[in-house]
Structure 1
Amino acid sequence: MSDAIHIQKAVNAGHTEIAQQINNVYDTDVSNLQRCDSIGWILYNDNFLQWRGDPEQHLLWVRGDPGKGKTMLLAGLITELEEVSDDGVFYFFCQATQPLLRTASYVLRGLIWSIVCKRPTLISYVRKEYDQAGKSVFSNHNAWQALSRILTAILEDRASADFIIIVDALDECTEGREKLIGYISQCSVSCKAKWIISSRNWPDIESQLDGTQSQVRLHLELNHASISNAVLQFVDRKVAQLNSTYDESARVQIRNHLLDNANDTFLWVALVCQELGKPGVNNYHGSNILKSFPAGLNELYARMICNIKERDMHWCRAILAVIAVAIRPLSLQELAAADETLTEWVEDEKVLANLVTSCGSLLTIREHRVYTVHQSVNDFLRNTPKVLPSGIGQQHYSIFNCNMNAMRNRLHRNLYNLKDSGVLIDEIDVSEDSSLTVVRYACVYWVDHFSCVMI
């Protein structure tokens, strides 16, 4: 049954306002995520089978280095699990670049939302807290306490005994990660629902989970043969998708180079193939492109920066520096307003889009916003002197200064020329070409950049 029908059931049951309050956070859609086609190995992995079959083992931790395919693996695993129990699998994918996807409270909020969508009878536990505190229960400074009580009550219900809850990329939950891990650990012991979590091999996460009983660990680096086979299949699929300008000999050469240098890293393969598939890249370019891309993600990122055309380097460096420390993904106009080098293009999104494209495969544009292709790119940029020669603190100050100038130049009293001061906010026509679209980010986040300045 679709989420829309479940939501309507909740609405019909008199929970309209609650549904509206928790709706806006749940925007994780597994259908939009790239999946690993060859996840069959995990279904027969001893650690997975132990977690799946032992009623006393409630927590499975999938751990691995950046680019090893953890998110793809979990996305594929969700699809497999939903074939068995469509209304018993719930998930949340953390993303450090998205404010709504990197906060512990929002993880719980998203899980609660997905649960009540599929099991609308459980919304009564949300109703109980809502009746006591109102809509602020989901957003005020006490939201974590209320949301954890709600989810705990749901998981203590007998109807949740068959639940499987998946939280991907705990390392990207940058706000409240410790309490989230603590909560998951506690629930995995006290409740019957089963959990799958994933993260990088971070010592602080490992130390928190060390004391957790009833857990199984699946270390991707210790499953070399299975991961290598999955990468091989991934390489074959990517090579097959290359455009027709590559003849069979070139495809064999590309395949061999990818397999020799991938180091079991899906992301590395995807990025190199993305470069090979760019418009204007032909059969005779392939060999030189392959030789220019070294093994290792950081080495690949460094090479991509070196490959930026000299005439674009000034602007591309500015773009990468802004993206490296931005609080959230920026629109093209917001990006231009955040650096004095780019302000001349603030009204020309076509030029800005071309400049973002000139940054190589480090960045991508989705729904008019600029993103890094992976969290490991953010980590690399923030530690690269060529991108941030004066350090992170100075870059925050630069953005703060540009934000203040942009607001000073574009904001003024009665911005929409209202003739009646008593007009309702819903009656104001806020057009997309408004001055506010340029400074929307600046108006909200200037203080965050100011607080990060190293004085």
Structure 2
Amino acid sequence: CLSGTRQHIFDIVDSWCHDKNSNLLWISGSPGAGKSAIASSLVLQLGQGNCAKFFFKRDSPYFRNPSNVWKTLAYRLGIVNIDIGIYLNKYLEKNPAYLENSHRTDDFKTLIVEAFKSIPSENHSQVPIIVIDALDECDTSEEWKIFLESLADWAKEPELNFKMIVTSRNQKEIQDAIGDCSYHLPIHTGVAVDTASTQDIQIFLKDRFQQLKVDLRNFPNIINQMSQYAAGLFIWAKLAISYISAGVATQRLENVLMNMGQLGQVKNDNNLNLDRLYAQILYSIFENCTQKEKKQYEMILGSLIFARSSLSINILNVIFVNQESKITSEVISTALGKFSPLLLSLDLNDRDAPLHLCHLSLQNFFEEDPQEGKSVVHICLGLLRYMNKELHFNMGQLESSYFSNKDIAGLSQRLDKLISKPLMFSCQWWHEHLPENVDKSSNVELHEEADIFLKKKLLFWLEVMSLMEQLPAAAGAMQYAEDIFKARLDIILIVSNSVAGDICRDASRFIFSFKKTIGTSTPHIYLSALPMAPPMSLLKQGYEKDFQRVLRSVNDRRKGWLRELQVLKQGDAVWAVAFSPNGKHIVSGSRDKTIQIWDAKTGEAVGDPLQGHQDSVMTVAFSRDGKHIVSGSRDKTIRIWDAKTGEAVGEPHQGHQHSVWTVAFSPDGKHIVSGSEDKTIRIWDAKTGEAVGEPLQGHQDSVYTVSFSLDMKHIVSGSFQDKTLQIWDAKTGEAVDGWLCLPKSPDLESQPDKLLFWIPPESRLGLWWPRNTAVICQYPLQLDLSKFHHGEDWTTCYVRNDCPKCHGK
């Protein structure tokens, strides 16, 4: 904020900071009211060492994702506050894999709430303030709802007398979440604008006119008039000054007054005033242009407006140069000069700098514009064409396949030289610009470029995404593209009969199935993932002819991919799951001490969580008729539940001395068998809860799995540490003679810490592997390694069909 402005708001914030009855301040206002400027000024006033900030940005994949908020703030809090830093260091030392978890639902409690609670009371006066700006620019998703709930939890937490400031538009979802539990500071605009805001805009206008050295003697009431037109919107005043400074100041000032005068003073609809000013600026841009120039400028401006992320000058060149539009680099530079009032900043010498719009309200001005579809097509076509030109085998010039990406020294610097920023942008954003509503017949070129990309360049694109650590985004891109192709474009690839959507679907399965190996080492896209893809994989069928010096699966009995499963989210770590006998429901047990029943088809939770255990639920099972659920817990007890009502049946079964790891119903449902950390197996009467006989003893360590035989005459149990299976007489409790011991397998002969190849879990049965203890499989996997090239020789796996020399090797 300009010095001398917004002081009335800063005074309210300062007073709130000393209010012990409120710990969440919500500043709301219309688009362009100056909320982000206020948030930035608050950060400056507080000082970098006294606050931590997160500013949402709609055009940034990272800063629009609500899952990134708390971990980012935790990192910044750990830097500025020693107590929080100590807590986070200790927590992450104990839980080193925490940040690798892709689900961030625990971040608020673990990284923020507990971190603040760790601060000694004598240091509370030095606690930093959290500032979060532009909640309305956040992705609206299930994570966003969880994020808003966490804000409400902060406001309602009596122990947290620490301060958090958030800003946003006054949206209903935000109002519903935090309106009643926060201190609400609205910034009024339009007919409700207050005198202080009007005076602040007048200060701003006077300052800018002085900088421009505009002679205002012929405009005696101009400051008052323009502040009335602004109606509390700082963006209107800023935009007007930008427009005036981009031409002959006095002439453009007259244009603004004439334009707004024809509209009249509209204080009850400040957005109309802003739209009128946008229209005036656009008119001045296209005034005196030829039809050819007008068309070219419209295409460039449309790309800036409708792009899913901010473009740069170099990316504009990628999009338009060599297209039928005949737009040259010179035309782009000229157009950007004309657009300068609509841009946040412009430096024609920094060709990779993002070109941010002056304000998001400019996008609102163009809502439902018919130009959007054409602009998106131009962007998508340009990005696809550029990728098809630039993508090639071994994008990172990796010398060996033995090492993981993270162990390659200087990889980041190497990628900066090898992969241009426009190519990185294209790889990340091409799918977001696939047109949703477009006539196939009028976009033959787009279809041709999509055909080339999917059939010839997709694995090279996947290399870039692996090197950039963007595999989750790559899978999401394929899923998004599948939806667009199948539902809207219905593109049939020109050479092949395969539908583009099917290839995208196959690619997303390829990425999900091999994300660990591809994410670990990029060469193993070709050395491990492609050979291990099922025979019916469209990617394998399309690309394996170019990679002949890799593994070959001799007797792969799989045809297609494993069936996809739904992802169901419970409140904490899930230790146990089981299907109901009819397959319609799933039951899960969690570290949060609850049991949840799920609809297996929809993935929706059925009823509320079943509560009663006092510690983590480690095992669950359905009765054979599906009417009951049995659960075992670290609280040493077993419980039975009515699967329909969720009510506990009887009292907890008590008798084990340590955690219960495994439970099972007998086929007739009359008995339950359980295995425990106390090394024993127990049989229970399912109706009375009484133990049947003495504990079955024989294992030398924890019992992790138990099961009844179908005739109910025997029970089988297994122990992890003592590596034994034990068979018991269910009636007498006596051990059946003969233990089946699982021998250790020999180690695979290979150099340590060198990545040879990777086998997916579904293909590991029957394959000797380090740390396996047994091989029991009807169809063990056999591999032909005779043509397998790896290590420093890995790049020769790529054999181009049109290269006689390659086939001669």
Structure 1 length normalisation: TM-score?
A: 0.77
3-state secondary structure, aligned to 1:308? helix
1:270 aligns with 2:238: yes
Per the alignment, residue 503 of structure 2 pairs with none
Q: How does 1:149-168 map to 2 (within 5 A)?
A: 149-158=110-119, 159=123, 162-168=127-133
- Structure with larger RCO (C-alpha < 8 A, sep 6+): 1
Of 113, 116, 127 in structure 1, the residue corresponding to residue 75 of structure 2 is 113
Comparing 339-348 and 223-232, the one that deviates more = 339-348
C-alpha change, 1:250 and 1:292, in structure 2 (3 Å) is same
Structure 2: distance between partners of 1:302 and 1:352: 21
Q: Which letter maps to 2:67?
A: S
- 1 or 2, which has the higher strand percentage? 2
Per the alignment, residue 381 of structure 1 pairs with 366
Shift, 1:50, TM fit: 6.2
Structure 2: distance between partners of 1:370 and 1:50: 38
How far does the alpha carbon of each residue in 1:383-422 deviate from its partner, in whole angstroms, 9 at most, with x for none?
Answer: 333x42x4xxx65454333322221122233568x69567
Q: Of the two, which has the highest radius of gyration?
A: 2
Of 41, 47, 53 in structure 2, the residue corresponding to residue 76 of structure 1 is 41
Structure 2 length normalisation: TM-score?
A: 0.45
RMSD: 3.4
Q: How does 1:23-102 map to 2 (within 5 A)?
A: 34-35=1-2, 37-45=4-12, 48=13, 51-82=16-47, 87-102=49-64
Contact persistence 2:57–2:134 (CA under 8 A): yes
Shift, 1:315, TM fit: 2.5
Structure 1: distance between partners of 2:250 and 2:206: 18
Per the alignment, residue 186 of structure 2 pairs with 219
C-alpha change, 1:187 and 1:449, in structure 2 (3 Å) is same
Q: Which letter maps to 1:381?
A: F
How far does the alpha carbon of each residue in 1:110-132 deviate from its partner, in whole angstroms, 9 at most, with x for none?
Answer: 32232122113422332244335
Q: Which letter maps to 2:308?
A: I
Contact persistence 2:25–2:165 (CA under 8 A): yes
Structure 2: distance between partners of 1:247 and 1:96: 39
Per the alignment, residue 183 of structure 1 pairs with 150
Contact persistence 1:50–1:57 (CA under 8 A): no
C-alpha change, 1:438 and 1:44, in structure 2 (3 Å) is closer
3-state secondary structure, aligned to 2:319? coil
C-alpha change, 1:435 and 1:251, in structure 2 (3 Å) is farther
Structure 2 alignment gaps of length 5 or more: 264-271, 435-479, 489-809
Structure 2: distance between partners of 1:299 and 1:102: 29
Structure 1: distance between partners of 2:2 and 2:58: 20
Shift, 1:372, TM fit: 0.8
Contact persistence 1:324–1:382 (CA under 8 A): no
3-state secondary structure, aligned to 1:101? coil
Shift, 1:200, TM fit: 0.7
Structure 2: distance between partners of 1:419 and 1:166: 43
Shift, 1:188, TM fit: 2.3
1:193 aligns with 2:174: no
Structure 1: distance between partners of 2:15 and 2:245: 41
Shift, 1:53, TM fit: 3.6
How far does the alpha carbon of each residue in 1:177-218 deviate from its partner, in whole angstroms, 9 at most, with x for none?
Answer: 3222211221122111112111112112111124x43x2111
Per the alignment, residue 403 of structure 1 pairs with 383
- 1 or 2, which has the higher helix percentage? 1
C-alpha change, 1:39 and 1:111, in structure 2 (3 Å) is same
3-state secondary structure, aligned to 1:100? coil
How far does the alpha carbon of each residue in 1:70-122 deviate from its partner, in whole angstroms, 9 at most, with x for none?
Answer: 1222333333444xxx6433222222122222122322233223212211342
Q: Which letter maps to 1:118?
A: V
Structure 2: distance between partners of 1:286 and 1:87: 43
Structure 2: distance between partners of 1:419 and 1:160: 51
Structure 1: distance between partners of 2:204 and 2:398: 61
Contact persistence 1:170–1:177 (CA under 8 A): no
C-alpha change, 1:265 and 1:282, in structure 2 (3 Å) is closer
Per the alignment, residue 324 of structure 1 pairs with 305
3-state secondary structure, aligned to 1:126? helix
Contact persistence 2:384–2:426 (CA under 8 A): yes
Structure 1: distance between partners of 2:323 and 2:365: 22
Structure 2: distance between partners of 1:376 and 1:147: 31
Per the alignment, residue 445 of structure 1 pairs with 429
Structure 2: distance between partners of 1:397 and 1:166: 38
Per the alignment, residue 127 of structure 1 pairs with 89
Contact persistence 1:334–1:440 (CA under 8 A): no
Structure 2: distance between partners of 1:108 and 1:156: 15
C-alpha change, 1:114 and 1:432, in structure 2 (3 Å) is closer
Per the alignment, residue 9 of structure 1 pairs with none
Per the alignment, residue 314 of structure 1 pairs with 295
Shift, 1:64, TM fit: 0.7
Structure 2: distance between partners of 1:429 and 1:238: 43
Contact persistence 2:51–2:80 (CA under 8 A): no
Shift, 1:430, TM fit: 5.2
Structure 2: distance between partners of 1:127 and 1:412: 42
Aligned identity (percent) is 20
How far does the alpha carbon of each residue in 1:20-39 deviate from its partner, in whole angstroms, 9 at most, with x for none?
Answer: xxxxxxxxxxxxxx556312
C-alpha change, 1:380 and 1:430, in structure 2 (3 Å) is farther
Per the alignment, residue 436 of structure 1 pairs with 420
Structure 1: distance between partners of 2:324 and 2:82: 49
Structure 2: distance between partners of 1:273 and 1:320: 20
Contact persistence 2:25–2:185 (CA under 8 A): yes
Contact persistence 2:32–2:235 (CA under 8 A): yes
1:235 aligns with 2:205: yes
Per the alignment, residue 172 of structure 2 pairs with 203
Per the alignment, residue 303 of structure 1 pairs with 280
C-alpha change, 1:429 and 1:96, in structure 2 (3 Å) is closer
Q: Which letter maps to 1:445?
A: W
How far does the alpha carbon of each residue in 1:339-382 deviate from its partner, in whole angstroms, 9 at most, with x for none?
Answer: 5786888983x643332232352224366211111122223334
Structure 2: distance between partners of 1:428 and 1:89: 31
Per the alignment, residue 588 of structure 2 pairs with none
Shift, 1:63, TM fit: 0.9
Per the alignment, residue 725 of structure 2 pairs with none
Shift, 1:268, TM fit: 0.5
Structure 1 alignment gaps of length 5 or more: 1-33
C-alpha change, 1:72 and 1:37, in structure 2 (3 Å) is farther
Report how many aligned residue pairs link the two structures: 404
1:358 aligns with 2:338: yes
How far does the alpha carbon of each residue in 1:238-294 deviate from its partner, in whole angstroms, 9 at most, with x for none?
Answer: 22222x3x324146454244123111111101111111112x524445323543466
Q: Which letter maps to 1:269?
A: A
